[in-house]
Every structure is written in C-alpha cells, then in structure tokens.
Amino acid sequence: MEIGKNLAANRAAMKELFADCGDIVFRDFAAAEGQGQLFLVYVDNMVNTTAVEDAIMTNIMNRCHDTETEERLLGLMESVIANRDVQQVDTIEKAAAGVLAGDTVIFMEGSSFALQASTRGYPNRGVGHTETEVVVQGPKDAFTELLAFNLVLIRRRIQDTRLKVVRTKAGSRTKTDVALMYFSDLVRPEILRQAKRQLERLRTDSILDCGSLEQLLEKRQFSPFPQLQMTERPDKAAAALLEGRVVLVVDNTPFVILLPVTLNLFFQAAEDYYDRWEIMSLIRFMRYVAAFVAVALPGLYLALTVYHPELLPTSLALKIATTRQSIPFSVAVEVISMELAFELLREAGVRLPSPVSATIGIVGGIIIGSAAVDAGLVSPAVVIISALTGICSFVIPNISVVSGLRLSKYLVIFLSSALGLYGFWAGILLLVVHLAGLSSYGIPYLYPFCSASVNHYRDLEDSLFRLPLPWLKRQSIFMKKRGER
C-alpha cells in the first residue's frame, strides 16, 4: 500500500497493521512554528530513546524549514534529524518492516513518503567470554546475540577495505538479519555464488538461530556430520576469512557459520596457533587418536572378548573372563547399557546449572560405575572402556563432530556384536566411505587427506601436524587461484 499525503489515513493504515500490538508506540507532534503535523512509530524498548527524543523530536519541534511540504520532509532528513542513517520509504509495508527492525518511522502531513531513521537500541548482554571453545592462551572475547556487535568484533581484527559485508534477511516471518562476509580478492567465485544463491532461495517462515540456517544450507541432510562449521570466537572467524572462506553472521545468536569446511578443520583449535608448534602438533595428533578411540574402542573390545579372545594376551583374557563369571548379561548388553548410562550423565550435566553439572558428571559417573560393578551387573573392564571412550570424545574441540562420532560408535558396536572383527572393520569402512562421500561447496570432506595434490600438498602443512608459522605462508585450497575472477 502506497503512503498517501493524508496523515490520518497513514496513521489508520499503520494502526491496522499493528492492531493489538501493545509494544508499538504512536506519537503525534507538531513541527516548529506550525510548519506541519507529524507522527512517528517505533517499538517500545527496542529503540534508543535518547536518539528518538533528542535527535528527532526535539530537533523537529525546534527547527523546521519554511518550504513546500514535500521539500520540508526532505529538509528534515538533510539538516534537522541528527541520526546517522535516514532513508525514505514509500509504502506502508516498508514502513512497518522498518519499525519491526528497531528503527523509527516518521510521517508528515502532505508528504507521500515517510522517513526511516536508525534508532536501534536492542537490549544485549555485551561482549562475554567464550564458553564452548575455551583457550588457555589467546583472546577471550566471544560473539553476542547482536549482529552489529559481531560485525564490529570481526572488523576490529581485519582493517581492510577488501573485506566485504553483504546484508540480507532470512525467514518470511522472522525476517532475521544475515550478513555474508568475505574477502573480495581471496574468496573463490563459485563458493561465493553458491552461498549467495542458497540464501536467496531459502523458503522458510523462521530463522531463529544459526543452527537452523546451518541445517537448511547443508547438502546432505541425513549425515550426522556437520558440513558447515560454527564458532563463537571472533578470532577464528577472522582467520577463516583470511583463508578465503565465507562467514555468515546471523542475528540473535552468539555463533557464526564458516563455509566451506573439511573434517580437518574441526580438529583445529584457536589455541593451536597461539602456542609453540611442537606441543600443538602433539596435541592435535592426540585429538585424531582420541576420535578413533571414541568410535572404535567399545566395538573392538566387544569383538575381541566375544569372537576372538585368542587375539588377547593370555593373562588379560583370563582376567576379563574371571571378572565376568558372575555377570548375568552378555558383553553386548554390558557395553550398550554402560554407553547409554554415560550418555544420560552427559546430557544431565549439560541441562543442569553449572555449579551442579560438574558434580553430576564426576560423582554420578563414579557412583554408577562403582555400584554397577559391586552389584555384579557389569564388569570393571566395561566401565573403564566406557569412561575412556567418554574422555576421548571430550578431547575433540568441536561438539558437532563429537555428536557424529557418538552416533557412529553405536554402528560399530552393533556390527561388532553381530560379526566380530569383520563387523568392526566393516563399520569403520562404512564410516570412512561415508566421510569420503561428503563435500562442502565442492571441497572434499576428507581434504587434505585425499586430493591434496590439487593444491600441491600445501594444505598438509596444517593438517595432522602443525608446522612452524613461518612455513604456513601458503595459498589455501579455499582461496581464489591466481588470475581467477
């Protein structure tokens, strides 16, 4: 609906759109020296009231140009309203969208357009500390739920005009602000085009969090492994941009999305680059070993004790057999029940308040494991296997990959319980084949462990081990090739 010159009709149209919306403020007032009637609309507690009162209302009430009506409203925009961003809107729908975005919309008698002044003043918790990607040495600041703050946290780290920000909205009802960030001289054109095309083609009512957007953008919906990366660390997002990757900043969430991604990147922590390469290489290698143990250990124990005890050392096999003499359940039932018990403890620790969660995780695990052994329900070896598996899963720095490995572990357990070592290796092979079949925006998921020759093996320098920083001055696989447009 077009904005008309009749102020009363415009007010009625806006009030009809915002019927039964008690948080919408309509304020009528007059310009200085009887130069015209106006009214403004904004969302209560969503705007900076100082900007509304001082920069808009006070200035208009005390200063106004004695010109024709249309030009008078333009004069207000150019020399009276002291906001940093003021633009014209010509329809009631655009005016309502501006109000819901946190701006203030100003209507004037005799004007066929309105002014949308930036007065956003969202409540926020400020810049906090990282919680899911904690480092001992390195920056402690984390993203917040406010998109504008998150853009600033990245901009202050990269002061380069070639860092571009493209803003759009997602969700037909929520109209969530999304910012797409990239380096114009580093990003590969096909990756950028695909990311923009996906955002344009989104057909959904709501985007409330970057987790929702991540699931909508993923190519393989039924894979338990993430094909996009989320982080709460501004330094990690800045590093991804410098590698030629694209960053999606979503309003209302303290995480951003990094794309493309490979499995190798999920095993890299921000701290890897803030400490010496020798110790960080050892820790990174331990993460890969821990990931394999978290998936394979329960199934391997089950296969060896049930189907192939001759492969175990004699003393160990006799010890396991002795501890299992009074156990009423099979090894498979033991392993699965203990794994599920630890999964429940993990979830309980996440949902409970922080002071209580640590106690539940540690004390609960000790009590349940000890009580189960004393009651003769499970053997001590199974408790140790389950505890070691859980510890190894906590070593991996990305929770999304941990979730995929947790599901894969049960596949290996079931195949091992049915087929022994043949089932164990079949499960591992199925997992590797699945990972090899994944890709993220044209980049193989297992890169650089496969297809590394495409980039002359340069990306292997920062994969299983991390070489010294002076040696890492290379062109990443994510970067635009020289001479490419």
Domain chopping of the chain, boundaries? 7-117, 147-261, 273-440
Instruction: List 167's β-bridge partners, or say none.
Output: 179
Q: Do 377 and 329 contact (CB within 8 A), yes or no?
A: yes
Supply the pLDDT for residue 78. 74
- Of 449, 452, 474, 477, the C-alpha closest to 464 is 449
Give 182-202 pLDDT, tens digit per residue.
Answer: 998 899 999 999 999 999 888
Q: What pLDDT is stored for residue 203 in this prediction? A: 87
Percent of the chain with pLDDT over 70: 93
Single pTM value for the model: 0.84
CB burial class (10 A; 0-12, 13-18, 19+) of residue 436?
A: middle
Average pLDDT score, the chain: 86
User: What pLDDT does 376 receive?
Assistant: 77
Residues of the chain with confidence (pLDDT) below 50: none
What local confidence, expressed as pLDDT, does residue 239 receive? 92
How many C-beta neighbours within 10 Å does residue 154 have? Answer: 22
According to the model, what pLDDT value does residue 197 have? 93
Sign of the torsion angle spanned by Cα atoms 207, 143, 290, 384: negative
